[in-house]
Structure 1
Amino acid sequence: MFRQFANQVAAAGTTAAPTAIAPTLRSDIYTAIDQVKAWVIGGMGQAGDGMSYGSVLATIQKHFPDTKMGLENMGSAENEVSVVVCGVTNMILEMSKWEGMAGGMTMRTWSDGLVEAHGRLPAGSRKNGIAKGIVRGISQNTDISLMTKEFTAKIQIISSLKSVCSRIYGAGSADARQAEAVLSSRLI
C-alpha cells in the first residue's frame, strides 16, 4: 500500500517530456527570424522603444511561455534585444534536439540574419547597444542544455553562434574574443 502511494506521489510530481517536436516550431522560428530582423532595423517599431517587441515575444512565448521582458529590460535596446535574441536562439536549439542538421542550418540562417540586420544600422550608440544585446543574448542568456547531442550538428551550431560575435565586433577584436570565451566556457 505504501509503495503504491509513493509511486502515485512521484508520478504526480513529474511532468512528461515532449515526445515529438512541436508542429509549429519550424514555421514559428522562421517567422521570428523575419520579425527580429525587421525590428532590429527599425521596420516594425524600434528596439528600445519599450513596446514594439510584442509580436516577436508572442511568437517566442508559444514555445517558451516563461519568457518575459521584465520591467528592468524595457526601454533599453540592449536589454530588449538580449531577451528576444535569447528566445529565438532557444527555439532553434529546441528544434535541434529533434532534427539536428535542420537545427544547424537554421542556426546559420539566424546568425546571418542577425549580422545582416546589425550591419544595416547606422553607426552610433544604438548600433553598439544592439550589438551588445545580440552577443549577450547568444553568449550569456541562451539555454545551452537545449542543444542537440548529435556531434556534427552541435559543432555547426556552436560555429554559427561564435561567428556572430566575430562578425559583429570584427574578427580578433577584444570584444569578439571576450564574447567567444564566455560562450566557450558555457559549452564546456
Structure 2
Amino acid sequence: MFRQMSNQLAAAAKTTETPKAIAPTLRSDIYTAIDQTKSWLIGGLGQAGDGITYGPMVATIQKYFPDTKMGLENIGSAESEVSVVVCGVTNMILEMSKWEGMAGGMAMRTWSDALVEAHGRLPAGSRKDGVAKGIVRGISQNTDITLMTKEFTAKIQIISSLKSVCSRIYGAGSADARQAEAVLSSRLI
C-alpha cells in the first residue's frame, strides 16, 4: 500500500515539474502568432471583435498556456478579445526569454513593432480605440511578468519594448500613455 501511494505521488510530482528545456516549436509558433495577430488586427483574417476569428491565435497560445480561454464576457468586444490574444503572445515571448534571453528580446521588439504597425493601419474610429485599449491592457495589466528572463540586458530590452508600445500607440507624453506605462512599471518593480 505504501509503495502504491509513493508511486502515485512520484508520478504526480513528475507531471507538475517545470520543463528542463525550451519547447522545440515555441520560437516558430511565436512568429506564426505574431503574423496571425497582425493580420487579424488589421482585418485581413477576420477582425477583432467579431467573436469568432480569434481562434487560430488562441489555439497557438494554448499549446503553451492551456488555461488561456476566451471567456463569454470577452467575445464580441474588440478590446477584450485583443487583450486576451496580446497577453497570450506576450507570455509566449516571455517564456522563450527564460531560455534564450536575447532571442526573447528580439522577438519582443518584433512583436511591439507589429502591434504598433497594425494599430496604425486601422481607420480612425471606435474600433481603433478598442484595439488600442486592448493592446495596452493585454501588455500592462494581463501579462505574466514572472515569466521574464533574469538576464539583465535582455530584461531591459524587453521592458523597453513593452513600454514603447504604450507611447507609440497613444502618443509620447499623452495621459493615456503615461498611465499605461505607470501600471506596467508598478508591475515590474
Q: CA deviation at 1:7?
A: 6.6
Distance (whole Å) between structure 2 residues aligned to residue 57 and residue 91 of structure 1: 12
| Structure 2 residue aligned with 1:125 | 126
Aligned CA-pair RMSD: 1.6
CA-to-aligned-CA distance 1:162-184 (integer Å, 9 cap, x gap):
00000000000000000000000
| Structure 2 residue aligned with 1:48 | 49
| Structure 1 residue aligned with 2:182 | 181
| Structure 2 residue aligned with 1:89 | 90
- Give the residue type in structure 1 aligned to 2:116: V
| Structure 2 residue aligned with 1:162 | 163
CA-to-aligned-CA distance 1:13-41 (integer Å, 9 cap, x gap):
53111011000000000000000000000
- Give the residue type in structure 2 aligned to 1:30: Y
Identical aligned pairs, as a percentage? Answer: 84
| Structure 1 residue aligned with 2:78 | 77
Structure 1 unmatched runs, 5+: none
Structure 2 unmatched runs, 5+: none
1:124-163 paired onto structure 2 within 5 Å: 124-163=125-164
Distance (whole Å) between structure 1 residues aligned to residue 6 and residue 146 of structure 2: 28
Distance (whole Å) between structure 1 residues aligned to residue 71 and residue 65 of structure 2: 15
TM-score, normalised with respect to structure 1? 0.95
Distance (whole Å) between structure 1 residues aligned to residue 147 and residue 4 of structure 2: 33
Instruction: Tell me if 1:99 matches 2:90.
Output: no
Distance (whole Å) between structure 2 residues aligned to residue 78 and residue 168 of structure 1: 14
Q: CA deviation at 1:11?
A: 3.9
Instruction: Tell me if 1:19 matches 2:36.
Output: no
- Give the residue type in structure 2 aligned to 1:154: K
CA-to-aligned-CA distance 1:27-65 (integer Å, 9 cap, x gap):
000000000000000001010000000111111111111
- Give the residue type in structure 1 aligned to 2:66: P
Matched length: 187
SS of the residue aligned with 2:139? helix
Distance (whole Å) between structure 2 residues aligned to residue 181 and residue 11 of structure 1: 44
SS of the residue aligned with 1:139? helix
CA-to-aligned-CA distance 1:130-156 (integer Å, 9 cap, x gap):
000000000000000000000000000
Q: CA deviation at 1:95?
A: 0.3
- Give the residue type in structure 1 aligned to 2:62: Q
Q: CA deviation at 1:99?
A: 0.2
